[in-house]
Structure 1
Amino acid sequence: MYKILISDKLAQEGVDILNSIDGVEPVVNTGLSEDELCEIIGEYDGLIIRSATTVSEKVLAAATKLKAVARAGVGVDNINIPEATRKGVIVMNTPGGNTTSAAEHTMALMLSLSRNVVPACNSLKAGAWDRKKYTGNQLCGKTLGVIGMGRIGMSVVKMALGFDMKIMGYDPFAVPEKAKEMGVQVVTDLNEIYKTADYISLHIPRNEQTTNMIGAEQFKMMKPTARIVNCARGGIINEPDLYAALEAGEIAGAALDVFPKEPPTETGFTKHDNCLVTPHLGASTEEAQIEVAVEAAQIIADAIKGGPIRNALNAPAVGAATPKVVTGYAELAQKIGRLMAATIVGPVKSVQVDYRGSIAEKDISAVTTAFSIGLLQANLDVPVNIVNVGLLAKERGITIDELKNADSKDIASSFTAQVATDKGTRSITGTVYSEGVARIVSIDGYMVEFSPEGPVMVIFNDDKPGVIGSVGTVCGQHGVNICTMGVGQKTDGTAVLAVSLDKKPGEEAIAQMKKLDFVNELYTCDLC
């Protein structure tokens, strides 16, 4: 009998699905503290959660039988995926069930902002009758800037077109081909949206590149009549800067459904009638709750009983029969894909992978697939794995050109990825030595060598004395240890410092390093 713990509130339809499956015993036990969860999790083969339960390293250490975790919803910020992967625990989510609900909530907030629904309602309940004060604006004919053209973003586009809105679209990674077919004006410079749009709606994941991406500088670009809606992830908008912009009249309104910390500790929204807030209700419809509950129940039952694995966020890219050398390069390529995604700027225009030396004589399809998974995952709001990566890349208009040359160059065997965007081209080269040790050996032609393990940091800098010492000092001040280091220089006076770390630097440490006078670009990425 397989036991599945349901530790957060789940629609009864999902529980009923599990009860109907032979050999499966669901147990509903909600509201557990971390310690309480640790005490019992060792009894269970599967775990279904929503947003309340945190699957921490401590919980995973106690989960001796656990085979899979299913998140009834999209976000998996509350799951330690690297640790789950190390433990061999499959992590899955249910990205399709809340698309319509999240898009409709976006439109609801947009309409509420435009027609002053909340303050007018509160005013009337208080006994006033002030129609003039709450005169609103219509959506028809206005320009909507959609940042993030994934499932939910495209659903918002479809709904907004029904209001006869003009649509500008931007995606930090790549725009789906059908966007232009729907009449979306695709832009490659975010500033065009900030300067032009009457409404801005966010539909992007939160990562190193998108955290606080909209702040004081961006608000100053916007029209004083602009309104911004965030139903994506908290922390994409710098909240103190948002409240300052509302106070100064730099924008006309904002609506937030998500916050950096939930429940929010920063409550500046209470001071502004033109700032609407809701407690993360994007997926909170009866229909969405049922859909994600049923899907979570189905996928976790299949996974723990040895059936098909769907929506896995940490599914392996290669099989057991794959030659060891190819497996090694696939693991390296996936990490290079992650690092590439963290360091490129602008939407992807072309992708090329180059195999040289002995690896070029192998069947390298699994390596290219692994690289694709790493490249796409951080920028999409759906799980990317061996099953769907080709389709997802095609939807975004991304093709990967392969080059193979059995003649080695500087090293016996290597894998190079090159990605061109509208802002420039980045290339990263790695190799797997005969002992199975993987190394990244070149970034943009700078010859470096460092271990692609755990958190890494890449700094493009002016080549001057004291760079290593200054970076090391800041890391030391914040309790971050440098594990391996590579330094590459060019004759033009520029250099790259690439290091692997024992833990990811915090925002304060990163901000301090970015202020160092020699730093031109700084990127961090977790390659676990």
Structure 2
Amino acid sequence: MPKVLISDKLSEAAVQIFKENGVEVDFQPGLGKDPAKLAEIIGDYDGLAIRSATKATADLIAKADNLKVIGRAGIGVDNVDLPAASAKGIVVMNTPFGNSITTAEHAIAMMFAVARQIPEADASTRAGKWEKSKFMGAEITRKTLGLIGCGNIGSIVADRALGLKMKVVAFDPFLSTERAAKLGVTKVETIEELLPVADFVTLHLPKTEKTANLLNAERVKLMKKGARLVNCARGGLVDEQAVADALKAGDLAGAAFDVFAVEPATENPLFDAPNVVCTPHLGAATTEAQENVALQVAEQMSDYLMKGAISNAINAPSVTAEEAPILKPWIELSEMLGGFAGQVTESAITEIEIEFVGKVGKLNLTPLVSALTASLMKPLVGEGGVNMVSAPIVARERGVKITETRKDEQGAYGSYIRLIVTTESQTRSVAGTVFSDNKPRFIQIKGIGLEAEPQRFMLYTTNTDEPGYIGALGMKLGDLDVNIATFALGRAAKDGEAIALLGVDAELSDETVAQIAALPQVTQAKALRFN
């Protein structure tokens, strides 16, 4: 009988779910706050069910000799060392949709609170004052709500706001025009276009390398005078000092924050700014949401431990034990193709077409499609917001059409996968195959042939086919102290468009990429990173 440890505060209904499924469960909800004790006993368990208090670090995972699955009751997996878990073969699951409504409702509640200054008015009235004229508020009706992020939670907020007779304007790189029309929102192409027109701005996106400090001081200055800002998404998305300064200067009328750059937030520049509503990360804190995520994680972990079924896994596909060794290299290739396209695509995706050519088309394609779609969307959706099971759902939410085509063996490589991504402005493709060593290779980009083995850090450039480019690029990388591991080239035609895909030893900085992009032959330069 497999044994699961619950080390955080989960609904006790989860304990019953485990037992009903034949799983032995040890309920110690305070253990997550004692990492030393947890490390002592973790080796006895097959599963670990957690929320946010338990930190599944690399050191803890190293001691988890029998651990097969970590289940996170909630969406965020910041407290789990994913590379360490993956390296040890531990499946990490989350529950990405269990608290969406609760989080969306909290954002709406915070918007009302800051619009009518409810917390300050409550404190004043309780103090025996009657300062009716002091707390002049603002109506929600007929105001413009600007959504930064219009995925699962953002779309719920949009629906509620439209019910309040607000106009909703949304920025989301993955939001198609068709999906925006279905939601009843006005899509804008940039944050800079949204901020000057919105009376209220709410954020609904994960914190990633691309979204960290997304609303920086420069963008805060672009906000409409008298606007109000709400962040119930993730700390670190907003320059909190810049918002505090704007409030004190009277440029913003109010702000409401449920999440902070540093948590627990015992001090923060927003705390002494006027008309600020602060709550201690309560977005998912309702009885219903806690019950939902607890029940979901217990069901998922039980299914995996008792049946081998994998659902909502962050780091593993949904495959059977028999299929795993055959599918593994093709899943890895799918992740590389999707990761490449996701990192070079900057406009809203409308369609994903996947061609399976030759013997790969005879395999179970579901995990391949999921792996490819998840890796394609992760650069902007974030690790916790999409996984190999939820990826098709997340894509459909954004109006992205996914089509699969099986073709007979053709071409020099016989069996390969081609991904074709259509956005509102262009169509691009990337193809790859698996060699006899079971390692993936890129074989075509934008219809241009080349052969490149994926590396963790890569540089992709498009350039004009001119003599001296290879030397110029090599010299520039040498000057920037970038060591080249692999170098692949291809061109459409002599004197036409050409591409280069390089493996490098370390991650490239934005400054380095900018200097490469400044070379006269270069039309595009992108730093790529693969897990």
TM range (shorter): 0.7 to 0.9
Q: Does residue 184 in structure 1 map to residue 188 in structure 2? A: no
Partner of 2:503: 499
Partner of 1:71: 72
Deviation at 1:18, TM superposition (A): 3.7
Question: In the TM superposition, what are the counterparts of 1:223-302 in structure 2 within 5 Å?
Answer: 223-264=224-265, 267-302=268-303
- Judged with a 3 Å threshold, the aligned counterparts in structure 2 of structure 1 residues 105 and 493 are, in CA distance, closer, same or farther, namely same
Question: In the TM superposition, what are the counterparts of 1:334-345 in structure 2 within 5 Å?
Answer: 334-345=335-346
Partner of 1:27: 27
Deviation at 1:50, TM superposition (A): 1.0
Residue identity opposite 1:5 in structure 2: L
Equivalent residue for 1:407, pick from 410, 421, 425: 410
Residue identity opposite 2:284 in structure 1: A
Deviation at 1:65, TM superposition (A): 0.5
Question: In the TM superposition, what are the counterparts of 1:108-119 in structure 2 within 5 Å?
Answer: 108-119=109-120
Query: 1:385-439 CA distances to partner (integer Å, 9 max, x unpaired)?
Result: 35x5545444433223456464326x56543323232354443332322222222
Question: In the TM superposition, what are the counterparts of 1:252-401 in structure 2 within 5 Å?
Answer: 252-264=253-265, 267-306=268-307, 308-319=309-320, 321-322=322-323, 327-355=328-356, 358-359=358-359, 362=362, 365-366=365-366, 367-377=368-378, 379=381, 382-386=385-389, 389-401=391-403
Question: Identity of aligned pairs, percent?
Answer: 35
Deviation at 1:256, TM superposition (A): 1.9
- Judged with a 3 Å threshold, the aligned counterparts in structure 2 of structure 1 residues 402 and 4 are, in CA distance, closer, same or farther, namely closer
Q: Does residue 433 in structure 1 map to residue 442 in structure 2? A: no
Partner of 1:59: 60
CA contact (8 A) 1:484 1:499 kept: yes
Distance 1:242 1:263 in 2: 19
Residue identity opposite 1:275 in structure 2: V
Residue identity opposite 1:283 in structure 2: A
Residue identity opposite 2:402 in structure 1: I
- Judged with a 3 Å threshold, the aligned counterparts in structure 2 of structure 1 residues 21 and 364 are, in CA distance, closer, same or farther, namely closer
CA RMSD, Structure 1 to Structure 2 (Å): 3.6
TM (normalized to structure 2)? 0.84
Deviation at 1:103, TM superposition (A): 1.1
Distance 2:425 2:212 in 1: 20
TM (normalized to structure 1)? 0.84
Aligned to 1:269, the other structure's residue is in SS state: coil
CA contact (8 A) 2:310 2:317 kept: no
CA contact (8 A) 1:149 1:176 kept: no
Partner of 1:214: 215
| Number of equivalent positions | 516
Query: 1:299-321 CA distances to partner (integer Å, 9 max, x unpaired)?
Result: 22332223643322233255555
Q: Does residue 13 in structure 1 map to residue 13 in structure 2? A: yes
Residue identity opposite 1:435 in structure 2: D
Residue identity opposite 2:257 in structure 1: L
Deviation at 1:266, TM superposition (A): 7.6
Partner of 1:47: 48
Distance 2:500 2:246 in 1: 37
Partner of 1:527: 530
- Judged with a 3 Å threshold, the aligned counterparts in structure 2 of structure 1 residues 468 and 102 are, in CA distance, closer, same or farther, namely farther
Distance 1:261 1:283 in 2: 18
Aligned to 2:307, the other structure's residue is in SS state: coil
Deviation at 1:441, TM superposition (A): 4.3
Equivalent residue for 2:454, pick from 426, 429, 452: 452
- Judged with a 3 Å threshold, the aligned counterparts in structure 2 of structure 1 residues 325 and 30 are, in CA distance, closer, same or farther, namely closer
CA contact (8 A) 1:458 1:497 kept: yes
Deviation at 1:137, TM superposition (A): 0.2
Residue identity opposite 2:503 in structure 1: V
Distance 2:36 2:443 in 1: 43
Deviation at 1:244, TM superposition (A): 4.2
- Judged with a 3 Å threshold, the aligned counterparts in structure 2 of structure 1 residues 512 and 227 are, in CA distance, closer, same or farther, namely same
CA contact (8 A) 2:15 2:25 kept: no
Deviation at 1:237, TM superposition (A): 2.4
Q: Does residue 421 in structure 1 map to residue 420 in structure 2? A: no
Distance 1:268 1:197 in 2: 24
Q: Which segment is superposed worse, 331-340 or 26-35?
A: 26-35
Aligned to 1:297, the other structure's residue is in SS state: helix
Distance 1:422 1:176 in 2: 8
Residue identity opposite 1:239 in structure 2: E
Question: In the TM superposition, what are the counterparts of 1:147-186 in structure 2 within 5 Å?
Answer: 147-175=148-176, 180-186=181-187
Query: 1:113-141 CA distances to partner (integer Å, 9 max, x unpaired)?
Result: 11122333444456654332321101011
Distance 1:317 1:271 in 2: 49
CA contact (8 A) 1:428 1:440 kept: yes
- Judged with a 3 Å threshold, the aligned counterparts in structure 2 of structure 1 residues 521 and 194 are, in CA distance, closer, same or farther, namely farther
Deviation at 1:337, TM superposition (A): 0.9
Partner of 1:143: 144
Deviation at 1:67, TM superposition (A): 1.2
Deviation at 1:101, TM superposition (A): 1.5
Distance 1:34 1:401 in 2: 46
Q: Which segment is superposed worse, 206-215 or 436-445?
A: 436-445
Residue identity opposite 1:108 in structure 2: A
Aligned to 2:153, the other structure's residue is in SS state: helix
Partner of 1:200: 201
- Judged with a 3 Å threshold, the aligned counterparts in structure 2 of structure 1 residues 53 and 460 are, in CA distance, closer, same or farther, namely farther
Distance 1:268 1:494 in 2: 50
Q: Which segment is superposed worse, 373-382 or 54-63?
A: 373-382
Distance 1:47 1:156 in 2: 33
Deviation at 1:204, TM superposition (A): 1.6
Deviation at 1:93, TM superposition (A): 1.3
Aligned to 2:297, the other structure's residue is in SS state: helix
Deviation at 1:499, TM superposition (A): 2.8
CA contact (8 A) 2:370 2:391 kept: yes
- Judged with a 3 Å threshold, the aligned counterparts in structure 2 of structure 1 residues 62 and 232 are, in CA distance, closer, same or farther, namely same
- Judged with a 3 Å threshold, the aligned counterparts in structure 2 of structure 1 residues 178 and 516 are, in CA distance, closer, same or farther, namely closer
Distance 2:224 2:57 in 1: 43
Residue identity opposite 1:206 in structure 2: K
CA contact (8 A) 1:452 1:500 kept: no
Query: 1:319-352 CA distances to partner (integer Å, 9 max, x unpaired)?
Result: 5555977653332012211232232112102323
Deviation at 1:81, TM superposition (A): 2.3
Distance 1:189 1:33 in 2: 45
Distance 1:160 1:213 in 2: 23
Q: Which segment is superposed worse, 105-114 or 167-176?
A: 167-176
- Judged with a 3 Å threshold, the aligned counterparts in structure 2 of structure 1 residues 31 and 152 are, in CA distance, closer, same or farther, namely same
- Judged with a 3 Å threshold, the aligned counterparts in structure 2 of structure 1 residues 173 and 179 are, in CA distance, closer, same or farther, namely closer
